[in-house]
Structure 1
Amino acid sequence: MVKPIDMSMVENALAGFTIPPQPEVLIRIKQEIELEDPDINTIAALINMDVGIAGFTLKVVNSAYFGLRRKISSIEHACKFLGLNRVIKLVSSVVLRFTLSGGSSDPFTLKLWNSAMNVGSAAMLIAQQLRLGSDCADDCYTLGLFHNAGMSLIHAQFPDYAKVLKVGLSQQLPFVSIEQRYFHTSHDTLGYLIAQSWGLAPEIGQVIAYHHNPEQVLLSTDLYEKRLFAILKLAEHLTGEEAALFDVKLELEWQQHGEALLDILELDEMQLPDLGDYLLQNGVENHFHR
């Protein structure tokens, strides 16, 4: 496991920011799922309380990843199809978007959530292709959606966030250095706090906290954390996250650590085009297919 989070760093990162708590609808869904005999219809009714959340849930269920021959048109059917264990992970991710975006439709917010969907889907598909199990695939999806959630909080206070990051990244400066210098916080630490507040698995929170500190994660003795991290970084690389968000294509982290990350997954560069084909077959555009 990577080293514990430095709480003084957390306190500094939090200055002026409020971490959104879990919304009431998500708390009630979790309470129902934890009952000895949870009622799928009650869960569906709770999801249907918010038209936006319900619609987005159906969009994800009907995505290419699940490969459904017939589209699902009701939340009740979606819950039965997914199963209770996956419902809470999916709905948590869906609710996060609506909670943090606050209905905003400015260009960077749209880019951020579209990129999160692409990275989450790619990460889930990579885990599936590597036969790491459905639990790992679900965790990868959640990680992909949540890993940049802290950016939304910074952008809400500093509308020039994307412009500042573009200039800094173009100068080959690290993410955290740019954010600390100009905004006195970092999206990875804020993302970790959101993950904690929302009750995500500890491994997911740890990877979010260190997802721009490859040196630290690569030293971890926890293989699951390292796999989650490697899959996240590979998904970022294959979907061109930096280019999509900031129009920067340098990918310094991948240049420096890509080989070590692929070693964790027992992959090599020669296998990536085939992996790109698999992502495209399942609806995810990537570095090899635009």
Structure 2
Amino acid sequence: MSAGSSIKEITQTLGKEDAERVRRVLDGGVKIPAQPRVLEALRKLMARQELDVRPLARTINQDPGLTAMLFKVVGNAAYRKHQPFDSVEQILHAVGVQQTYHLVQAIALSSAVGLRKNHRVYEAFWARSQAVGELAMLIADERIAVCNLFPDQAYLTGIFHACGVPLLLQRFPSYCHELRLGTPGRWTDWREEDRKFNTDHAVVGYLVARHWCLPGFICDAIRHQHAVAELGDHESRSMVAILLLAIDIHAREQRVPNPEWDEVKAVVLPELGLSDEALPEFVDIILERFGCAAGL
């Protein structure tokens, strides 16, 4: 998608029902977050297709908070063979320019989407998104031979998959209370969300992802995260499978229920080349690597 696509143009690519759901959110005064300038600057530099990474590194280094978070993300065990990293230039060389750009896109989202109220819920939301993103990275790294998807793509999907939730919190004053998001371990139930607000955080997240020029298959994975069985495209279907397993592993790690898992595991596991019997050992591997990355 071109960088110039407007929200109106993106909305026109949706079906009638999805477009109506988006209009309900936008009509309430919610604005889809604009991309930070650093992303626009990086995209212009990348369009030149120059091999010198120094201008890219200088651009990233202009944002100290983003740079610090980038070092934290590449400390994930998915990048263990490249560690330690001593500079942004080294990250660009080792991880790859496009891959680093994906990581920067994901990191930039947290500063672009904010809430004036419900700070505790907002912090819990980003903590969950960060954990799901990091777990998705590890799953992608472990199953790369099966899915041919990469840690940066999985992280981007994990961070963006629920980004519609803060926008719905802005749009509907009762959203947090109705879905009991202030309860520890509680997460939004998309069916309840649809029933009470006639909207869907997945389609709003899709709109944000398209506006931020994420790869098309990742946008589709965000939109269909609760309808994996309907996806025929291999990349999108595999990405949703990685995301759903990451969400379930996070729920296990937090010791909170995940009712959706029983509904989707029959599709998710074959997509990732796993079986019910192999799953417990695989989950242990992911959690061990996740714990190492967190310094536990």
* Same topology, TM > 0.5: yes
For 1:156 and 1:284, locate their aligned partners in 2 and report how far apart those are by CA, in whole Å. Answer: 33
- Residues 223, 99 of structure 1: CA spacing in aligned structure 2 closer, same or farther, 3 A cutoff? same
Asked if residue 88 in structure 1 is aligned to residue 101 in structure 2, the reply is: yes
- Residues 106, 71 of structure 1: CA spacing in aligned structure 2 closer, same or farther, 3 A cutoff? farther
Q: How does 1:14-29 map to 2 (within 5 A)?
A: 14-16=26-28, 17-29=30-42
Match of 1:128 in 2: 141
Check whether the contact 2:99–2:153 (CA below 8 A) recurs between aligned residues: no
Tell me which amino acid in the other structure corresponds to 2:72. Answer: K
What is the CA-CA distance between 1:252 and the residue it aligns to? 2.3
Match of 2:75 in 1: 62
What is the CA-CA distance between 1:79 and the residue it aligns to? 2.2
Tell me which amino acid in the other structure corresponds to 2:26. Answer: L
For 1:160 and 1:121, locate their aligned partners in 2 and report how far apart those are by CA, in whole Å. Answer: 31
Q: How does 1:136-215 map to 2 (within 5 A)?
A: 136-157=150-171, 161-166=175-180, 175-212=189-226, 214=227
- TM-score, normalised by the number of residues in structure 1: 0.82
Match of 1:238 in 2: 249
- Once structures 1 and 2 are overlaid, which stretch shifts more, 46-55 or 12-21? 12-21
- Residues 120, 280 of structure 1: CA spacing in aligned structure 2 closer, same or farther, 3 A cutoff? same
For 2:86 and 2:118, locate their aligned partners in 1 and report how far apart those are by CA, in whole Å. Answer: 25
Check whether the contact 1:119–1:232 (CA below 8 A) recurs between aligned residues: yes
Coordinate RMSD, CA, aligned: 3.3
Q: Using the aligned pairs only, state the percent identity.
A: 27
Q: SS of the residue aligned with 2:62? A: coil
For 2:54 and 2:174, locate their aligned partners in 1 and report how far apart those are by CA, in whole Å. Answer: 44
- TM-score, normalised by the number of residues in structure 2: 0.80
- Once structures 1 and 2 are overlaid, which stretch shifts more, 93-102 or 156-165? 156-165
For 1:265 and 1:219, locate their aligned partners in 2 and report how far apart those are by CA, in whole Å. Answer: 16
For 1:135 and 1:112, locate their aligned partners in 2 and report how far apart those are by CA, in whole Å. Answer: 25
Match of 2:284 among 277, 281, 287: 277
Alpha-carbon displacement from aligned partner over 1:145-195 (angstroms, at most 9, x marks no partner) = 11011112223455764443238x9xxx98334324544532111100100
Tell me which amino acid in the other structure corresponds to 2:235. Answer: Y
Asked if residue 11 in structure 1 is aligned to residue 23 in structure 2, the reply is: yes
- Residues 7, 154 of structure 1: CA spacing in aligned structure 2 closer, same or farther, 3 A cutoff? closer
Match of 1:262 among 259, 269, 274: 269
- Residues 140, 90 of structure 1: CA spacing in aligned structure 2 closer, same or farther, 3 A cutoff? same
